[in-house]
Chains A and B, each alone.
Chain A
């Protein structure tokens, strides 16, 4: 069956100050998390133009994770507040178009949350596996 061989490609945008450090901590702590994740570091989660996410989906990525500092902890004070609203709007756009919005997930991960990072990577991979290949693949 396809699900058995389907290895999702997941793109993760990680903010420099919290989430990237969290991912790094997961790495140095030798926590296991799926190799489906490809990371891109951005200075802030609000650097992630919604267009980056749409473009990634159109290029055939099966799921996109956006991670930033917890509310109130953004290095730039309020960047993640805009990220939250934008991702909500973007997910609604996907829904209206007929793309499952669960293919995009926003999460807050701090520099000390290596375990949380690994858990999210695990659960998001499971979600995407269940959703199957991105219907925009090849388009």
Chain B
């Protein structure tokens, strides 16, 4: 048995039965610490898919940019990818009906740059490096993954474990997929609450207490922003920065051409633009050559807004976008706060 057998079986099935035209997933790259995204069209190639715990690109972003419009596409998705697709669907960037979300459970990923030799698999109770079982070293995980409370992609059509043959259907489409693959929907065998606690613990640790000194916080972020070389990497990799005509482009009025570090408005603009949609996918931070801890900032703001608007990005396709809606009660409330 190889890790990921269940997901490979499912991908094989959906391609073979013609349920989808192509499947986007990670396949091995140049060595065991590298994976690359690939669109797979032939069922025989499903065997190439890897479930190693790396996430060097947002597949949601690649799907939106390169997925063939109008075709049925399967996506082997961790929670952050599945959530990305749902958030992008709400924003009319992809058509949810055309996408088969084949979720895999994820207990964290490692940045290959920080990874030890050998392929890495992260489990809820340990990890495996180059074929050897080890205790889980949380310090190896990407910072965003430590803060992530969604080990099980319950927002995908199905979710399945990378070890064992457990698979769960979360939607009618998920049931169709499992029936076609002759799998029974059985619910995850893992108790997600320990991972949710881990997430809460790291959020507590990473997010500055808003009650403490403002000036210290401001000085910290301004220092971070001033390291920026305006490579646009954070914007380019962000699944939610999909605008064809971006406010940060040099020919718009906001960010002048040829100046680094860019005006702080560069960072404040992106922060405001993804405040209600950030997935904590970590791509912006991973790509930043200046190692600015961007995701920490975006994630904290998104968390704060979640408690105000009762909205979390990419969880429920029926929840209205918080900055593009209002309630009946709000039209009657006189104040400037909600409720």
Residues on A facing B (Cβ under 8 Å): 50-51, 54-55, 58, 70-72, 78, 81-82, 84-90, 92-93, 95-100, 105-108, 135-136, 139
Q: A54-B269, A84-B330, A93-B272 are in contact. Are A98 and B221 (CB under 8 A)?
A: yes
Q: Are A78 and B272 in contact (CB under 8 A)?
A: no
- B30 at interface by CB-CB < 8 Å: no
Residues of A within 8 A of B336 (CB): 84, 87-88, 105-108
> If the complex has contacts A98-B214, A99-B214, are A85 and B323 also in contact, measured as CB distance less than 8 A?
yes
The interface of chain B, by Cβ under 8 A from chain A, is: 210, 214-222, 247, 254, 263-265, 268-269, 271-272, 275-276, 297, 300-301, 304-305, 308-309, 322-326, 330-334, 336-338
Closest to A55 in B: B265
Interface of B is mostly: helix
**Inter-chain contacts of A105 with B (CB < 8 A):** 336
Q: What's the Cα separation between A108 and B334 when bound, in Å?
A: 8
- Contact B323 A82, beta carbon cutoff 8 Å: yes
CA distance A78 to B331 in the complex (A): 8
In the bound assembly, the distance between CA atoms of A78 and B305 in angstroms comes to 21
Q: What is the predominant secondary structure among interface residues of chain A facing chain B?
A: helix
Which residue from B221, B322, B331 sits with its C-beta under 8 Å from A85? B322
Nearest CB in chain A to that of B220: its residue: A98
Whole-angstrom CA separation of A9 from B338 in the bound complex: 28
A82 to B309, CA, bound (A): 13
A86 to chain B, nearest CB (A): 6
CB distance from A103 to the nearest CB of B (A): 11
Residues of A within 8 A of B326 (CB): 78, 81-82, 84-85
Q: Is the CB of A98 within 8 A of B218?
A: yes
Flag if A88 contacts B337 (CB, 8 Å): yes
B323-A96 in contact (CB<8A): no
Known: A55-B254, A78-B331. A90 touches B272 (CB 8 A): yes
Assuming the A-B contacts A71-B333, A72-B332, A86-B323, are A100 and B214 also in contact, with contact meaning beta carbons closer than 8 angstroms in the complex? yes
Contact between B265 and A97 (Cβ–Cβ < 8 Å)?
no
Q: Is the CB of B217 within 8 A of A97?
A: yes
Across the interface, do B301 and A54 meet the contact criterion of CB distance under 8 Å?
A: no
Decide: B210 and A72 in contact? CB cutoff 8 A. no
Q: How far is the CA of A40 from the CA of B337 in the complex (A)?
A: 23
Contact B268–A92 (Cβ < 8 Å): no
* Selected contact of A71 from candidates B219, B247, B297, B332, CB within 8 Å: B332
The answer to whether A58 touches B265 (Cβ under 8 A) is: yes
Q: Are B263 and A58 in contact (CB under 8 A)?
A: yes
Residues of A within 8 A of B222 (CB): 139
State in angstroms the CA–CA spacing of A24 and B217 once bound together: 40
